[in-house]
């Protein structure tokens, strides 16, 4: 993973197993912001297993401002069949409200962009809720382009189980 970032009071570093409780806290705060608190089921043990177990499903970064944790990013590798190369999918990006407008979100994305370069990945992708105009404008200012020709589909719960058991 890329070197930790240290600049103007900001430090970004890879999360460690002992950060699982902090990551869960950030997930809950993000869910509250996104009006999805009722959907959160994650536990500290689940984060430990998923991020730091024998087969990690994702990676996480933590952002610190003057030594205080203020944000995080969770991401994982995906693969583009058209490009024949992997990429990174950013699952979550969150900065606590009192630390916004300091360049922390931009620094987290810059870190991930550098990581893509180091690993030879072709792209960095993520989704944003349609109503989240501040985030959409922020991403556009960075040069990100909305993929308006694509619609995300999801199978979960009973529908996922039904499909898995269908003959």
The active-site residue, picked from 64, 111, 121, 139, is: 139
Give every strand in the sheet of 68-80, ordered side by side: 5-7, 10-14, 59-65, 68-80, 85-95, 124-126
Any bridge partners for residue 69, and if so which? 64
**Among residues 98, 11, 109, which one has the least CA distance to residue 62?**
11
DSSP string across 50-109: HHHSSS-S-EEEEEEETTEEEEEEEEEEEEETTTTEEEEEEEEEEE-GGGTTSSHHHHHH
Q: Residue 139 catalytic?
A: yes
Q: Which two tokens stand for residue 139?
A: 């991403």
Enzyme catalytic residues = 139
């Amino acid at each position: 993973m890329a070197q930790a970032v240290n600049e103007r009071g900001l430090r970004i570093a890879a999360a460690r197993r002992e950060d699982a409780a902090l990551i869960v806290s950030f997930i809950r705060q993000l869910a509250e912001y996104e009006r999805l608190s009722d959907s959160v089921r994650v536990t500290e043990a689940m984060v430990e297993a998923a991020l730091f177990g024998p087969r990690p499903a994702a990676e996480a970064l933590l952002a610190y401002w003057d030594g205080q944790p203020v944000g995080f990013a969770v991401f994982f590798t995906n693969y583009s069949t058209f490009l024949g190369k992997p990429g990174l999918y950013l699952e979550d990006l969150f900065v606590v409200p009192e630390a916004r407008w300091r360049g922390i979100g931009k620094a987290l994305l810059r870190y991930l962009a550098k990581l893509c370069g180091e690993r030879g990945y072709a792209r960095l992708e993520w989704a944003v809720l349609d109503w989240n105009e501040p985030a959409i404008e922020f991403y556009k200012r960075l040069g990100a382009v909305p993929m308006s020709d694509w619609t995300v589909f999801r199978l979960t719960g009973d529908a996922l189980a039904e499909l898995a058991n269908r003959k």
